[in-house]
Amino acid sequence: MIKNCQYLLLLLCLLSSTLITAQEDKGSFTGGFQTSANVFIRDSLIGAFNIPQYDSGLFGVQSWLDLGYNLNGFDLSVRFDMFNNSNLLNPNDSYTDEGVGRWHIEKRMEKLSIKIGHIYDQIGSGIIYRAYEERPLLIDNALYGGRLIYRLSDEWELKAFAGRQRFLFSEYEPTIKGATLEGFIDLGDPEKDRHLTLAPGIGMVNRTLNQEAVNQIGSSIRNYVEEQRFGLKRNTFAYSLYNTVHYGSLSWYAEAAYKSGESFFNPFKELILSDGSTTDGRWVREAGTVFYSSLSYAGNGLGITVEGKRTENFEFRADPQLTLLRGLITYIPPMNRNNTYRLTARYSPATQLLSEQAFQVDVKYRWNKKLTTLVNVSTINSLEGEKLYREIYTELFYKYSRKLQLKGGLQMVNYNQELYEVKPGVPLVETITPYVDILYKIGRKKSLRFESQLMFIGEDEKAGFKQDYGNWVFALLELNLAPHWSFVASDMYNSSAGKNTPTNADGEKQLLHYPRFDIYYTQKTNRFSLSYIKQVEGIVCSGGICRLEPAFSGFNFTLNSTF
């Protein structure tokens, strides 16, 4: 019945679009299409094998079609999703399905907004609740339900929502409810350069477990020794208090969150077995907290941002039995720089939900019109003091002339590969990565860009080799012919052997190339790309949410279109 209603909504959106040509003043129609198709070419030397796509599927595709229509305060939207032998859900497996992935109807009135369907939203910075989409990792945890927003005044707004969290073409059984009150307070004269403003908010989220989940978790706990057993609660509450303060060039955001005691699986807690021995991992019931703050200053060519965060036992999912990226209700802000170069982004830390204490400082100074420098320092530990991640990143940007721009710097990283990639017994990865980026404008519509990075990695004394895959050299050359064409060629070369560098039949380490060639074509609002890719195994992250992906070998075609 629900699916029939969804397809009916899709039909109504399509019919609405036909009315626009005759009655342009009656509404507006928008849409977008995105597709990504892979051709998988087996390459056992780099580890691209023994998954369905390389062994039999050979081809995989995922596509999304978004349609939206606005009319007299009504907002209608529907999205069709298709997955065919896709590796996006699980890089080590194949997934095929299709259907209506999202839809909503919203009516906005003078003070009241009503929305039903799939809803994206968040409370504060997202610590106690965030429903969002991140397609590169196939995260789409929209709330399937309803939401009311009522404007108490021009400065204050009350919001309430309820429903179940979406997963692909269905929903998890536990229910989620929440409410927020947010406002804006101006304590100064807006005509003056410096005046004080506040943007306070308070939020609450409740998750109620279904009986089946309670029974399944309870069956595990009943087998525990008496001192480790506990009673289950179906309801968990999370609360958040947050505020943004602006004064002149200063901005300060602070948020404190608390989660009532709930059941979750802690892989670091010891389980006592019936014979008295112990093993890692058991169910616990504990409360959780997060404290997060960010202080920024910008003025006179100087920009400074200081962030701090403390997280303890904040595992909060639609169903506590879910793992990895599934069912997350929370989004805890990451505490490391979002790096974009291939080697500086190779070792990125995933946000830890159970135990993390982190700080980050970012300083940027513009000396003059030509020279800008940047320094970023981040440090992440567990609450017990275990070192998880360190990064020092420096950057120098120099605009030599209108045609030539230079950028370069150095990154130093310590990375706990044992924790982030679940590789027992490996040492803390240590890297030093200098990089350079040169842009030369050949003409008004033509440019040539070159970038290169060298990664020097520490020694693994037990293995007798460099850590992980050893040292790397990366080089990229990009030619832009505006407004339509771009051509990119790059190579990532394993310049010295590491512990994980593959061996040949004679047991000798093989130093590998990972070339990539891209062609991009843009025509108005349509962008096409065709790529040949060899990619090493590694971590893929988006906003602190990360997963380990296997090596890739093959072709990729993408299309992004808006209309």
pLDDT tens, position by position, 403-412: 999 999 999 9
How does pLDDT run across 106-128, given as a tens digit for each residue? 999 999 999 999 999 999 999 99
Average pLDDT score over residue span 340-355:
95
**Is 316 in contact with 357 (CB distance < 8 Å)?**
no
Share of the chain above pLDDT 70, in %: 95
Give the pLDDT of residue 195: 82
SS3 for 238-300 is EEEEEEEEEECCEEEEEEEEEEEEEEEEEEEEEEECCCCCEEEEEEEEEEEEEEEEEEEEEEC
Q: What's the pLDDT band for 299 if we cut at 50, 70, 90? A: very high
Query: Of 18-22, 277-281, 369-373, which gets the smallest average pLDDT?
Result: 18-22
Q: Can you tell me the distance from the alpha carbon of 473 to that of 454, in angstroms, rounded to the nearest whole number?
A: 5
Residue 453 has pLDDT above 60, yes or no: yes
Q: Let me know if residue 296 belongs to a domain.
A: yes
Q: Let me know if residue 385 belongs to a domain.
A: no
Give the pLDDT of residue 4: 46
* In a shared domain, residues 156 and 290: yes
More confident residue, 483 or 545: 483
Length, in residues, of the chain: 563
* In a shared domain, residues 182 and 266: yes
Which of 318, 333, 348 corresponds to the end of one domain? 333
Exposure string for 242-274, b = 16+ CB within 10 A, e = fewer: bbbbbeeeebebbbbbbbeebbbbbeeeebeee
Q: Can you tell me the distance from the alpha carbon of 128 to that of 139, in angstroms, rounded to the nearest whole number?
A: 17
Q: What's the pLDDT band for 22 if we cut at 50, 70, 90? A: very low
Average pLDDT score over residue span 150-163:
97
Q: Can you tell me the distance from the alpha carbon of 347 to that of 401, in angstroms, rounded to the nearest whole number?
A: 34
* In a shared domain, residues 113 and 244: yes
CA distances from 367 to 301, 303, 371, 407 (A): 7, 12, 6, 15
* In a shared domain, residues 72 and 126: no
* In a shared domain, residues 312 and 228: yes
**Is 141 in contact with 167 (CB distance < 8 Å)?**
yes
More confident residue, 194 or 262: 262
Share of the chain above pLDDT 90, in %: 79
Q: Can you tell me the distance from the alpha carbon of 288 to that of 131, in angstroms, rounded to the nearest whole number?
A: 20
Q: What's the pLDDT band for 193 if we cut at 50, 70, 90? A: low
* In a shared domain, residues 195 and 94: no
- Supply the range of the domain harboring residue 51: 1-105+526-532+554-563
Average pLDDT score over residue span 212-241:
93
Q: Let me know if residue 359 belongs to a domain.
A: no
Which of 333, 364, 382 corresponds to the end of one domain? 333
Give the pLDDT of residue 10: 52
Q: What's the pLDDT band for 1 if we cut at 50, 70, 90? A: very low
Q: Find, among 293, 391, 285, the residue nearest to 339 by Cα.
A: 391
Give the pLDDT of residue 356: 97
**Is 124 in contact with 113 (CB distance < 8 Å)?**
no
* Residue 217: CB atoms within 10 Å: 19
**Is 333 in contact with 314 (CB distance < 8 Å)?**
no
Q: Let me know if residue 340 belongs to a domain.
A: no
Which of 307, 333, 359 corresponds to the end of one domain? 333
* In a shared domain, residues 87 and 193: no
Give the pLDDT of residue 511: 86
Q: Let me know if residue 56 belongs to a domain.
A: yes
* In a shared domain, residues 77 and 212: no
Q: What's the pLDDT band for 467 if we cut at 50, 70, 90? A: very high
Q: What's the pLDDT band for 191 if we cut at 50, 70, 90? A: low
Query: Does residue 484 sit in helix, strand or coil?
Result: coil
pTM, two decimals, is 0.91
Give the pLDDT of residue 16: 53
The residues pairing with 105 across neighbouring beta strands, listed in sequence order, are: 76, 116
Burial class (CB in 10 A: 0-12, 13-18, 19+), 313: buried
* In a shared domain, residues 4 and 77: yes
**Is 97 in contact with 104 (CB distance < 8 Å)?**
no
Q: Let me know if residue 172 belongs to a domain.
A: yes
Cα 30 to the center of its chain, rounded Å: 26
Give the pLDDT of residue 12: 55
Structure tokens at 464: 């007798």
Q: What's the pLDDT band for 47 if we cut at 50, 70, 90? A: confident
Q: Can you tell me the distance from the alpha carbon of 442 to that of 541, in angstroms, rounded to the nearest whole number?
A: 34
Residue 246 has pLDDT above 50, yes or no: yes
Q: Can you tell me the distance from the alpha carbon of 166 to that of 120, in angstroms, rounded to the nearest whole number?
A: 11
Q: Let me know if residue 378 belongs to a domain.
A: no
**CA atoms within 13 Å, Cβ hemisphere of 83:** 17
How does pLDDT run across 489-544, given as a tens digit for each residue? 999 999 998 988 888 777 788 888 999 999 999 999 999 999 999 999 888 887 77
Residue 558 has pLDDT above 80, yes or no: yes
Q: Can you tell me the distance from the alpha carbon of 110 to that of 467, in angstroms, rounded to the nearest whole number?
A: 61
Query: Does residue 206 sit in helix, strand or coil?
Result: strand
* In a shared domain, residues 123 and 268: yes
More confident residue, 7 or 538: 538
Residue 6 has pLDDT above 80, yes or no: no
Q: What's the pLDDT band for 545 if we cut at 50, 70, 90? A: confident
Q: Are strands 121-122 and 156-167 parallel, antiparallel or unpaired?
A: unpaired
Number of domains in the chain: 2
Q: What's the pLDDT band for 19 if we cut at 50, 70, 90? A: very low
Give the pLDDT of residue 18: 43
* In a shared domain, residues 61 and 152: no
* In a shared domain, residues 24 and 157: no
Q: Let me know if residue 199 belongs to a domain.
A: yes
Q: Can you tell me the distance from the alpha carbon of 92 to that of 437, in angstroms, rounded to the nearest whole number?
A: 34
